[in-house]
Amino acid sequence: MHISKIIIFIAAFLICNTAHGMQIIIDEEAEEVITEIARPIFRAAGLPGKDLKIKIVGDKSINAFVMDNTNIFIFTDLITFSDNPDVLAGVIAHECAHIALGHISLTREKMESLKNKMIASTILGAAAGLLSGNFETFGAVALGGKHAAEMDFLKHSRIQESQADAAAIKYLEKIKLSPDGLSKLLRHLNSNERIFYKGSNPYLLTHPVSRERINYIKQNTNISLGSLPSSLNHKYKMIVAKVFAFTSPFKEVFKKYGGNDKPDLYAHSIAYYKIGKLKTALELIDKLLLVEPNNPYFIELKAQFLYENGKVNESITYYEKALKLKSTSTIFKIELASALITADSDLKKAGELLRSAIDVDRSNFSAWHSLGIVLGKENMTDYSYIALAHAFSIIGDTKTAKKFINSINSESNHIKDPFYISALEEAKTAIKK
C-alpha cells in the first residue's frame, strides 16, 4: 500500500467541499476487490466499466464522491465502516447514478449560472448604494443575492441526491442485491445528524436528511433481494483489515482484530511493520503464506516490508514472484522496477517494466518519474528529461516540466524513438493548457 497526493474538486456522497488536498491510497488488492463489487453495478447503470476507475482516498471520514465521468473516489473510513461489502455496493450504486444521470455536468452548469447571478447581485447592490447614497444598501443587496444563490444550489444538490438514491435502488435490484447495506450506513449517519445537526434548518443541507432517505429505501425495496457472494465477502474482509491496519494506530488495530483468523493476522502483520517490528511482521505474513502460498498480495506485502526496511535485494525476489503470479499488474511492475533502481541492479529490466506499465497507464506519475531516473543512470540525459517532463506535466507542475523541457539539447536530432517523441509532445501540450 502506497500513498500519493492530489488536489481536486469534490462532489461528495455525504458532503460538498471545495478544492481539497487528498491522499490517494495505491493498493491493487483493495482496488481489485472494490472493482469486483462495482462491475455489475456499472453494467446495471449502463456505464462503460472499462472507462471507470475506483480510487481510494486516505481520509478519516465516511465518504465517497465522483468528480468526473471516469473516477469514483472511496474514502478509507467508508471501507472500514463495515466488513459487509453490501454497504459499499450501495454507495457505489449511488455514485454511479450521479454519473449516469449527468449530474456532474448539470452541477457545473448550475454553479456557473449561480456565479453569474451573484455577480449580477453585486453589481445591483453597488448601483443601489450609489443611487441612495447609503452603502449599507450595497452590502444588504449583495449578501441577499449570495444567500439566495446558496439556497438555490443547496436545493439543486438535495434534488440530485434524491434522484441518485432512487436510481441506486433500481441498479441494485437489477443485480438482485438488497439496499440494506445502504440503509445501514444511513442509519449511522442519521444518529450523527441528531447530534451534529440538532435544530439545523434542513434547507441548509446539501443532502436530504438521512431518515427521509432511509424511509424512501424501505418503501421501495424488494424484500426478496439477496447479498453478495460469500467468496467476495471474504475478500472484502481481508481488504478492510488491511486498510484499517494501515490507517489506524497500533492499539486500535488489536482492539478490532483480536483473534487469529486471516483478517486478524493480516492486520497484525501490518501493525507490527508500521512500528518497526520487522521480524514479527514477517513471521505473521509467513503464517498467511503457509495457508495461501500463491497469494500475490501476501507476497507483495512481504516484499514491501523488506524493501522499506532496507532489505532491497531480498525484496526483489518477492516482487518478482508476485509479478510472476500477477503478470498484468502495473503496480507490481513499478514496485519491482523501483527496487531494481534502488539496488542499482538490471536497469535495462527496470526500464522495460516501466515502459510496459506506461503502455497500460500513460498518466502514471510514478512510472514516468522512475523511468526518468533509470534513463539518467544510463546517461541517456535527453530521454531522461523527456520522461521527467512528462511526469511533472501529469501532476500539473508546469514549472518543473518546463525546466526539464528547456534542458533538452535543442540542436540534437538523436531522439528517434516514437515513444519519447510522443511523450515530449504530450508534455508540451499539457503545459500549454
| 66: β partners | 72
Instruction: Please give the order of strands across the beta sheet that includes 71-75.
Output: 2-8, 20-26, 53-58, 71-75, 64-66
* Contact status, residue 65 vs residue 49, Cβ threshold 8 Å: no
Nearest to 88 by CA among 100, 75, 105: 75
Q: Which of 239, 248, 244, 364 is nearest to 295 (CA)?
A: 239
pTM: 0.78
- 312 phi-psi bin (left φ>0, alpha ψ -120 to 50, beta other): alpha
| Amino acid letter for position 352 | E
In the chain the first and final C-alpha atoms are separated, in Å, by 32
Q: Is the dihedral of CA 22, 24, 30, 31 positive or negative?
A: positive
CA–CA separation, 382 vs 414, rounded Å?
Answer: 9
- How far is 7 from 138, CA to CA, in rounded Å? 35
> How far apart are alpha carbons 372 and 394 in whole angstroms?
14
- Nearest one of 163, 161, 165 to 207, comparing CA atoms: 161
Print pLDDT tens along the chain (433 aa): 665 443 333 333 333 333 345 688 889 999 999 999 999 999 999 988 677 888 898 888 888 888 777 888 889 999 999 999 998 998 899 888 888 887 665 555 545 554 554 444 444 444 444 444 444 544 444 444 444 444 444 454 567 777 888 888 889 889 888 888 777 877 776 665 443 344 444 333 344 455 667 676 666 666 666 777 888 999 999 999 999 999 999 999 999 999 999 999 999 999 999 999 999 999 999 999 999 999 999 999 999 999 999 999 999 999 999 999 999 999 999 999 999 999 998 999 999 999 999 999 998 999 999 999 999 999 999 999 999 999 999 988 999 999 999 998 766 567 888 999 999 999 999 888 7
Q: Cα separation of 60 and 246, whole Å?
A: 12
Q: Assess contact for 375 and 348: CB atoms under 8 A.
A: no
The grid cell for 367 is 512510472
Give residue 240's pLDDT.
Answer: 96
- Give the span between the Cα atoms of 430 and 231, in whole angstroms: 43
129 residue type, one letter: G
CB atoms within 10 A of CB 303: 26
Residue spans of the domains in the chain: they are 1-230
Q: Which residues make Cβ contacts (< 8 Å) with residue 233, sequence separation at least 6?
A: 84, 85, 227
| pLDDT for the residue numbered 107 | 54
Q: Give the pLDDT score at 195.
A: 39
Distance CA 278, CA 301 (A): 12
Per the listing, cell 507542475 goes with 397
Residues 195 and 228: their CA atoms lie apart, in Å, by 33
Q: Concatenated DSSP letters for 334-366? A: HHHHHHHHHTT--HHHHHHHHHHHHHH-TT-HH
Q: How far apart are CA 406 and CA 85, in angstroms?
A: 50
